Structure 1
Amino acid sequence: MNKNTFIGFLLIAVILVGFSLFNRPSKEQLEAQRHYRDSVAFSQQLEREAAIQEAKAVRAAESLVQPTTTEDSVLLHKQIELAYGEFAPAATGKDGYTTIENELVRLTFANKGGFLHKAELKKYKTYKDTVNYLCLFEGQEQALSFTLVTNNNRVLHTENLYFVPNAIETEADGTQLLRMRLSVSEESYIDYEYRLPKDDYMLRASIHAAGMQDILAQNMTSMEMHWHQLIRQQEKGRKFEERYATLQYMFKGNDIENLSESKNDQKSINNRLQWIAYKDQFFSTVIIPDDAFTSAQLESKVMPKTSDYIKQYDTKAVIGFDPTGSKTTDMRIYLGPNHYHTLKAYDKDVDKADRLHLQELVPLGWKIVAWINKILVIPMFDLFTSWGLHIGVVILLMTIVIKLIIFPFTFTSYRSSAKMRVLKPQLDAINEKFPPEKMQERQQATMALYQRAGVSPMAGCLPMLFQFPVLMAMFWFFPTAIELRGQSLFWADDLSTYDAIVSWDTYIPIISGTFGNHISLFCLLMTITNIVYTYLNMQTQSGGSEMKMMKWMMYLMPIFFMFVFNDYAAGLSYYYFVSLLITIVQTYIFRWSINDEKLLRQMEAKQAKNAKNPKKSGFVARLEKMQREQQAYAKEQAKKRYK
């Protein structure tokens, strides 16, 4: 073997070793792979456990109508021991419920499974029930279970085991403490501890094992969490509620993503997750482990339109667990409203790297729109509501303030349109002088006119461009503002949903699918006002045949928007209605303050002044340069063709 061959083999070996080290799975990935292999190995045991559970349920049902013989009792006891092993004492128990509550929430825990049976929010009601508290879930609508692997390879689920609750304790700061114990023996058990602070939507949960290292598998350093929940329809507008209901999650690096809102979706994640949220339009249930989920399988299903539920969410996630009890598995569970300030408060005095960013559960639009909402719209809304004003007055004041903010842009846009309008006779003369075949000469003459008059064609477009993010910010804010929920204005009893004055049950093809089975009055008023505003604008346009199609399009746009906004929040339609009324008033003020004849004389004087040395705007200068380059290129191509 010569020197070059030896070096070649050595380099290949280095590359192979480096490649294997670089692609070696991380600790979390190895744990996920091990857990997957265990799950496959124990799949038959899971089926066996399910069969035993079913047999036990049948036996229990039969015992209600006829006595159970001693032989049957012994057989059932053996079956339970065979399925649950040392956990057999916890396989049977007494169904019962324990409730802890504060001023905001009432939480009921079940003995079987040791987890939440029912969650109620005391400050909110549903549109169907204005008497009882709003219920996020109850009974089988929600389930959370952890997988336990025993030292003899049994796979058990905590949802099938019975916990024994201790008496509720109240700590010095008003926090309520509930302990629930899953006992194997006096020395071996698993405790669930729940702490509900005073006036808080965040529940603190801890899982602590004692003496379980010889009962559970020796290599068990994590558990698989199974979390299932059906999302109730809480709002009148189902179509709109479905649009905002989604399964959302945050990676450890602060990136937030979600599954599809409009269709069934699922995703497997092998990265660490900071939290997982089951989100409705205005309410969410969020699980936030202290040490993050190491991996997760997420699934979201859209429920049929006839169902009482809008979504079904399911999660399988891996979370750390110490059977020796030297370390607890801690997590927080948020059960409350999607209220921006409430959610943001959980990041107060928290290091940037550890912030939860739960306020992102409130959708405020894409980046610049969300930024406007956060620094302008939400503070303004908070200021006006803090004065104790009616919500209708608050929206009116917000509309006036926003109109004042964008007034300079609106005035500039109107003045630019007026300039173009008074120049139209001169532009028509240029078009007659230069036919379409001489397009370059026509463009040059038009640019020369703009230079002499000091007009920029973009002057009317840029102000409208600056207004657009503000308008979009309001479009995102009102449908997600929980403060509008249940607030009435005139005939609308809830500004967070549509205000139907006419509704019907019959399905009408196309209409029912796009427009809905109702007519929203604020949306109708917005449409009528928009048509009036369009008519006022069309009066200032020329009556040439080339504008007829444009006019029809302008009149059809309000009708199109009516189909879009008929299902939207009445608060948003009310805002646009008031905004359009103010815009109409502004239009009359602009017409009164800007005289076309006076403006034309000013522009003619400016044309005469700039006739010899016209002042060119940057935009016009760039257009001229492009025209010269285009003309030179055309001449060069013509020369090549005639050679």
Structure 2
Amino acid sequence: MEQKKFDANSFIGLLLLGAIMLWFMYSSQQEVIPTDDTTETSVDSTKTTTSPTLTNNTTPLVASDSLKNAALQNQLGAFSYGAQTATEGTTVLENKLLKLTIDNKGGQIIEALVKTYKRYDSLPLYLIKDNNASFNINFGTTDNRILNTKDLLFIPTISKNGKNQVLSMKLKVSETQYLEYRYEMKPNNYMVDFAVRSQGLATVINSSNTINLDWDLKTYRNEKSIKTENMYSELKFFTDEADYLSAASSNDNEVVDNVQWVGFKQHFFTSILLSDKPFNKTSLTSINLVKDEEIDTVFTKHYQLNTPLALNNGELNYNMNWYYGPADYKLLTKYKGKNLGEIVDLGWGIFGAINRAIFIPIFGWLSGLMSNYGLIIILMTIVVRILMSPLVYKSYVSSAKMKVIRPELTAINERLPGKENAMKRQQETMAVQRKAGVSMMSGCIPALLQMPIFFALFRFFPSNIELRQKGFLWASDLSSYDSVIELPFHIPLYGSHISLFPILASIAIFFYMKMNQSQQANMQAPAQEGMPDMQKMMKYMIYLSPIMMLFFFNNYASSLSLYYFVSNLLTIIIMLVIKNYVIDEAKIHAQIEENKKRPEKKKGKFRQRLDNAMKQAQEQQTQQKKGKK
């Protein structure tokens, strides 16, 4: 049997093979470890403004950068140039009134702090924070990509323009080609200049695709009363005139043209985007996020704006403004030519005109004399009641005149009873009133003239930011309800607390209406057959009106309840003075008797036509009666 001999060549070969395998394993281990470290450090480094320097094994880093750049090129196309050097981070623009934090990602504002105000719970007041807002431009590129600026990294550059802070955020294609957001903040100003411009992108941006600007905001709750804040929070915009989306609707949407500014308004604060070029085909949406006003909530409204942007010679060029601050009428009207005062809800038509022309100047004058806003409201109420006292006087004079001729009117009703004599009875009643120089309208007109004052003030007090978080007596905030007792349960339409000022106002209006009942009874002619008895209706209203006020105003601004309490109290005093010390019924009676002796004035055309119409109706009624017989 042949024995196997030791083969030295084979042994040497095995040794060489083992050595090669050991060398390969060792080399592979040396490559893997630095590559992993490099990748991890690169990701973290995006939170800084400088890139880390690696001292060992640079070859894997170059390979990693190449792969990263290739991925960016594939994803972003031409915009991969800026993305290769851009890093994550934020920049702060700040003055004494406002602090804005702008993120490199998206180049947008991610925090807007209004420094001069606090929330209802004394926390800092942010209009933007924790991703409640988004600003984005969506566009297509010539290499068939759809990009969103909110997903891309901008490169920030801080500079100065005089005393103004300037932040340029650039989304680069090259050093000379970019999309730029430019922010410029002035000292002591809530308004920030904002521009959207492109340079050299005519061959990069696809002009056949629509370029859309999207602005989205969820508004934080900042006030004590969720119900009141939600009621006064609404999306406002200005075209040729101010308009708004419904605050009460759960979801309201409108498409409008020629939009000069859009305001995402809260009760006392607002975020506004203005543009020198009006937006067209602008879609505006307001969504109510408050489902139950008794449950605490973080957000009250969700506002959305979507509008196409127009290219000029293939480039974007829009000069805009951001306003983040108080919805203060006097402050907003200082921005001339922008109509920003329309943001504040002072009422429409004549009600807003009365507030702007009368109540805002009076309130401003009084607030310049003292700092106690409760006393300012009381003094303002006194001024308003004194100005309106001539109307109360005229109403009382008309009441006294009607009281004098009332026996004659009662005699006419007794002499001409029944529906068949209704027209004749009305003619004689009007003749007696005309001879005595008494007009039914003379009593109604003063009351009607007071109605615009009532509705104007109804809008003025809840919209006045100067009353926000200002206390008086037991009310800690005159812009919100004055809770004196918290209830352990909820009463429908009333709430889960008891406010004292609405109770006082309800008591005052009860006594006012009680006193006014006799006056109204004098103003009314005796009840005629077939006609409703107004006196009975007034008796019901005496009790119904205070109850309605008690429920309605329990959750409303305590400043408004304070005004109505003081106003009704003063009106009662004025009525007592006029009744007991000004009106002389004997003198009025003598004047009426004198009027009766005078020859009747020639009838005007309107009165003549009215008398003829009543006469014809009476004749037809008589003929119909004869025909039935």
Q: TM-score range by the shorter chain?
A: 0.7 to 0.9
Are 2:543 and 1:555 aligned? yes
> How do residues 97-108 of structure 1 correspond to structure 2 at under 5 angstroms?
97-108=90-101
Specify the alignment match of 2:112 in structure 1.
119
CA distance in 2, matches of 1:407, 1:617: 32
Shift of 1:357: 1.1
Encode CA deviations 1:108-127: one digit per residue, 9 max, x unaligned: 11111111010111221110
Taking a change above 3 Å as real, the CA distance of residues 617 and 576 of structure 1, as seen in their structure-2 partners, is: farther
Shift of 1:219: 4.8
Are 2:492 and 1:504 aligned? no
Question: Which one-letter code corresponds to 1:628 in the other structure?
Answer: K
Specify the alignment match of 1:36 in structure 2.
none
CA distance in 2, matches of 1:218, 1:429: 87
> How do residues 267-286 of structure 1 correspond to structure 2 at under 5 angstroms?
267-269=253-255, 271-286=257-272
1:339–1:362 contact (8 Å) kept in structure 2: yes
Shift of 1:538: 3.2
Are 2:371 and 1:379 aligned? no
Taking a change above 3 Å as real, the CA distance of residues 419 and 178 of structure 1, as seen in their structure-2 partners, is: same
Q: Alignment partner of 1:517: what SS?
A: strand
Question: Which one-letter code corresponds to 2:77 in the other structure?
Answer: G
CA distance in 2, matches of 1:187, 1:594: 84
Specify the alignment match of 1:12 in structure 2.
none
Taking a change above 3 Å as real, the CA distance of residues 140 and 521 of structure 1, as seen in their structure-2 partners, is: same
Specify the alignment match of 1:298 in structure 2.
284
CA distance in 1, matches of 2:597, 2:185: 78
CA distance in 1, matches of 2:82, 2:418: 90
Are 2:614 and 1:631 aligned? no
Shift of 1:518: 1.9
CA distance in 2, matches of 1:401, 1:110: 52
2:82–2:174 contact (8 Å) kept in structure 1: no
CA distance in 1, matches of 2:150, 2:500: 49
Question: Which one-letter code corresponds to 2:154 in the other structure?
Answer: F
Tell me the number of residue pairs that the alignment of Structure 1 and Structure 2 aligns. 559
CA distance in 2, matches of 1:396, 1:457: 33
Encode CA deviations 1:536-576: one digit per residue, 9 max, x unaligned: 22355769995345312222111112222222211111111
2:517–2:538 contact (8 Å) kept in structure 1: no
Q: Alignment partner of 1:423: what SS?
A: helix
Q: Alignment partner of 2:412: what SS?
A: helix
Taking a change above 3 Å as real, the CA distance of residues 505 and 259 of structure 1, as seen in their structure-2 partners, is: farther
Are 2:169 and 1:169 aligned? no
Encode CA deviations 1:13-59: one digit per residue, 9 max, x unaligned: xxxxxxxxxxxxxxxxxxxxxxxxxxxxxxxxxxxxxxxxxxxxxx9
2:397–2:583 contact (8 Å) kept in structure 1: no
Shift of 1:177: 0.9
Specify the alignment match of 1:487 in structure 2.
470
Specify the alignment match of 1:329 in structure 2.
318
Q: Alignment partner of 2:277: what SS?
A: coil
For residue 356 of structure 1, the aligned residue among 317, 338, 363 is 338
Taking a change above 3 Å as real, the CA distance of residues 150 and 601 of structure 1, as seen in their structure-2 partners, is: closer
Shift of 1:218: 5.3
CA distance in 2, matches of 1:88, 1:408: 76
Taking a change above 3 Å as real, the CA distance of residues 72 and 94 of structure 1, as seen in their structure-2 partners, is: closer
Q: Alignment partner of 2:118: what SS?
A: coil
For residue 460 of structure 2, the aligned residue among 477, 480, 488 is 477
Specify the alignment match of 2:51 in structure 1.
none
For residue 532 of structure 1, the aligned residue among 508, 511, 526 is 511
Q: Alignment partner of 1:108: what SS?
A: strand
Specify the alignment match of 1:85 in structure 2.
77
Are 2:591 and 1:606 aligned? no
Taking a change above 3 Å as real, the CA distance of residues 340 and 617 of structure 1, as seen in their structure-2 partners, is: farther
**Which blocks of at least 5 consecutive residues in structure 1 are unaligned?**
1-58, 64-68, 348-354
**Which blocks of at least 5 consecutive residues in structure 2 are unaligned?**
1-41, 47-59, 528-532
Are 2:313 and 1:313 aligned? no
Taking a change above 3 Å as real, the CA distance of residues 270 and 378 of structure 1, as seen in their structure-2 partners, is: closer
* Structure-1-length-normalised TM-score: 0.80
Q: Alignment partner of 1:424: what SS?
A: helix
2:269–2:325 contact (8 Å) kept in structure 1: yes
1:364–1:373 contact (8 Å) kept in structure 2: yes
CA distance in 1, matches of 2:498, 2:455: 24
Shift of 1:187: 3.3
1:266–1:297 contact (8 Å) kept in structure 2: no
Larger Rg: 2
For residue 225 of structure 2, the aligned residue among 237, 257, 263 is 237
Question: Which one-letter code corresponds to 2:498 in the other structure?
Answer: I
Taking a change above 3 Å as real, the CA distance of residues 516 and 498 of structure 1, as seen in their structure-2 partners, is: same
> How do residues 33-52 of structure 1 correspond to structure 2 at under 5 angstroms?
none
Specify the alignment match of 2:20 in structure 1.
none
Q: Alignment partner of 1:419: what SS?
A: helix
Are 2:186 and 1:206 aligned? no
Question: Which one-letter code corresponds to 1:481 in the other structure?
Answer: N
Question: Which one-letter code corresponds to 2:117 in the other structure?
Answer: Y
Taking a change above 3 Å as real, the CA distance of residues 299 and 91 of structure 1, as seen in their structure-2 partners, is: farther
CA distance in 2, matches of 1:113, 1:604: 81
RMSD: 3.1
Q: Alignment partner of 2:131: what SS?
A: helix
Taking a change above 3 Å as real, the CA distance of residues 179 and 629 of structure 1, as seen in their structure-2 partners, is: same
CA distance in 2, matches of 1:607, 1:185: 94
